[in-house]
Amino acid sequence: MKLRGVARGLIKHRVGNERQTLLWYDNWNPFGPLSEKFGSSLIVETALQENTKVDTIIQHRQWYWPDLKPTVNSFDLCSVKDCLNLLSPPNDVDD
C-alpha cells in the first residue's frame, strides 16, 4: 500500500482508446492524473463531469475544451491547455 503512490507515477495510460481513458483520473498526459496535479477545483471550474473521458476534449483531431464560461481561464486550466497543445491528440477519434 505504501508503494501505491510511487507505482502510480511509473504507470502511464496510453491513450489508444480515448473513450475509455478518464480525463481527470488516468495518467495519460505529462502532468499525470489531472485531479492529483490540480485538485477538484479544476473539475468544478470546467463544469465537466468527474467521469469525463479524454475524447470529450478532442474535436476534429484537435484539443478542444467544450463551451467554458468566459470567466473560466484560471492559471491551472491555461497550464493544462498549453501542455496539451504541445501533444498530438490521438488519431483514431471519430469526428
Name residues whose C-beta falls within 8 Å of residue 94's C-beta, 6 or more positions apart in sequence. Answer: none
Determine the Cα–Cα distance for residues 86 and 53; give it in Å rounded to an integer. Answer: 20
pTM, two decimal places: 0.74
Confidence label for 24 from pLDDT (cuts 50, 70 and 90): very high
pLDDT over 70, % of the chain: 69
Please report, to the nearest 10 degrees, the dihedral formed by the alpha carbons of residues 82, 84, 88, 92 taken in order: -140
pLDDT in tens, 36-55: 998 888 898 888 999 999 99
Considering the chain, what is the average pLDDT of its residues?
79
Q: Which of 70, 72, 92 has the alpha carbon at shortest distance from 80? A: 72
Collapsing DSSP to helix, strand or coil, 21 comes out as coil
